[in-house]
């Protein structure tokens, strides 16, 4: 999917007036699309949820899949947004997958996600490389259970807002979209309620918005202004300079967006690259030159000095 982007929302207050496109103030007011869907990351804990769960067959056009593949909740949450947003131009792969999956039950949908080679490869390409077994290290340390984190999706669909959690037996209806209000106002109380279930010290939450790619809309706005200039008569030339200035400002914003997208591509490549082989080669080279012991000793000294300095600072 090429015409969408992911943007982090840092505060629930931002949901009250959220539109990633109009952050470029020159964009036309007729652009009303804010977010195709939200993805919420939180620390999972076992709890009793008394909210009514809708059977997926009661909403046949809504894509809901149960999570049957371990650690696939992030990919499943993304698919829940993409496959329930008619405004998104899906790739042929996702179109074919959706056409097939809409005819099967929610558990079979989850199985189909795990058995799709293309989706599995895309998911696994972001897995952390780890060729070093940690079993021996863990045995020598006190055993500690790792925190489990979970992704769920919130989507607007046919005038209503749903929570899609693959660990639940079905979708949860959050409410109707009131005419004249953005659907994000419906979803905010549900997110606040979930966050309030945790202690005040808990900060491990992340809220992401899947939204239109801003660079595409800025490009369309530039083209619109250029057509407007071309259609002007001689008498309209007095406004020509103001339109030219708008184009220049939009072009600067477009350049910034393209730079940001390119930077994100580089960061993605770095995250997905396996640096372990070169690290092992470097360690072997240092061992061959008998430098590892001295490097380790220096590191231990720096650690001890830092700990002593921190203790003295705390005493003060």
pLDDT tens per residue across span 3-55: 888 888 888 877 766 665 554 434 444 444 578 999 999 888 887 888 888 88
* List 123, 150, 204, 273, catalytic entry: 150
- Interstrand relation of 4-9 and 37-43 (parallel, antiparallel or unpaired): unpaired
CB 213, CB 4: distance < 8 Å: yes
Res 136 pLDDT > 60: no
- List, for residues 199-224, the tens digit of each pLDDT value: 666 778 899 999 888 888 889 889 98
How far, in Å, are 300, 309, 315 from residue 303 at the CA level? 5, 10, 19
Spell out the residues 6+ positions from residue 199 whose beta carbon is closer than 8 angstroms to its own.
Answer: none
Residue 105: CA count within 13 A, CB half-sphere: 5
For helices 240-272 and 214-230, angle between their N-to-C axes, nearest 10 degrees: 160
Alpha helices in the chain (DSSP H): 73-82, 92-101, 106-115, 117-124, 135-139, 184-196, 214-230, 240-272, 276-288, 292-315
Residues 6+ apart with CB under 8 A from 125: 272
- Out of 17-21, 216-220, 240-244, 292-296, give the one with best mean pLDDT: 292-296
Give pLDDT, residue 212.
Answer: 86
Has residue 178 got a pLDDT over 80?
yes
Taking the C-alpha atoms of residue 41 and residue 272, their distance in angstroms, rounded to an integer, is 21
Question: How much is the pTM?
Answer: 0.74
| Choice among 15-19, 151-155, 170-174, 228-232 with the minimum mean pLDDT | 15-19
* Locus of tokens 């279930």: 197
Residue-wise pLDDT tens digits, 54-92: 886 678 899 999 998 888 888 999 999 999 999 898 999
Q: What is the pLDDT of residue 98?
A: 93
Calculate the CA 174 to chain-centre distance: 21
Structure confidence at residue 149 (pLDDT): 86
pLDDT on residue 26: 43
| Model confidence at 130: pLDDT above 60 | no
Least confident of 102-106, 115-119, 139-143, 230-234: 139-143
pLDDT for res 213: 86
SS3 275: coil
Is there a catalytic annotation at residue 204?
Answer: no
156 strand-pairing partners: 161
Least Cα distance to 78 among 106, 90, 115 occurs for 90
Residues 105, 107, 112, 114, Cα dihedral to 10° = 170
| 211 part of the active site | no
Among 73, 123, 204, 211, the active-site one is 73
Q: Could you give the percent of the chain with pLDDT greater than 90?
A: 35
**How confident is the model at residue 32, as a pLDDT?**
45
**Mean pLDDT, the chain, integer:** 82
More confident site: 153 or 198: 153
Token duo for residue 236: 């309209």
280-292 average pLDDT score: 92
């Amino acid at each position: 999917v090429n015409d969408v982007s992911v943007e982090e929302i840092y505060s629930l207050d931002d949901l009250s007036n959220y539109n990633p496109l109009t952050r470029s103030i020159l964009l036309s007011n007729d652009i009303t699309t804010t977010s195709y869907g939200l993805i919420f990351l939180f620390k999972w804990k076992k709890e009793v949820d008394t909210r009514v769960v809708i059977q997926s067959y009661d909403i046949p056009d809504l894509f809901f899949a149960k999570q049957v593949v371990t650690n696939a909740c992030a990919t499943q949450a993304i698919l829940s947004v993409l496959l329930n947003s008619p405004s998104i131009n899906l790739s042929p792969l996702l179109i074919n997958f959706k056409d097939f999956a809409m005819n099967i039950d929610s558990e079979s949908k989850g199985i189909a996600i795990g058995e799709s080679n293309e989706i599995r490869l895309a998911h696994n390409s972001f897995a952390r490389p780890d060729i070093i077994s940690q079993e021996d290290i863990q045995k020598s340390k006190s055993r500690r259970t790792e925190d489990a984190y979970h992704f769920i999706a919130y989507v607007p669909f046919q005038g209503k807002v749903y929570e899609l959690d693959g660990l639940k037996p079905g979708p949860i209806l959050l409410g109707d979209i009131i005419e004249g209000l953005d659907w994000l106002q419906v979803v905010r109380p549900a997110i606040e309620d979930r966050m309030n279930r945790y202690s005040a010290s808990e900060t491990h939450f992340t809220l992401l918005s899947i939204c239109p790619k801003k660079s595409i809309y800025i490009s369309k706005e530039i083209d619109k202004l250029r057509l407007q200039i071309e259609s002007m008569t001689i008498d309209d030339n007095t406004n020509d300079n103001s339109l030219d200035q708008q184009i220049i400002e939009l072009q600067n914003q477009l350049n910034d967006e393209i730079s940001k997208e390119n930077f994100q591509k580089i960061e993605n490549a770095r995250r997905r690259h396996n640096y372990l082989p070169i690290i092992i080669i470097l360690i072997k080279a240092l061992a061959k030159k008998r430098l590892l012991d001295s490097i380790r000793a220096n590191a231990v000294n720096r650690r001890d000095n830092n700990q002593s300095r921190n203790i003295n600072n705390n005493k003060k």
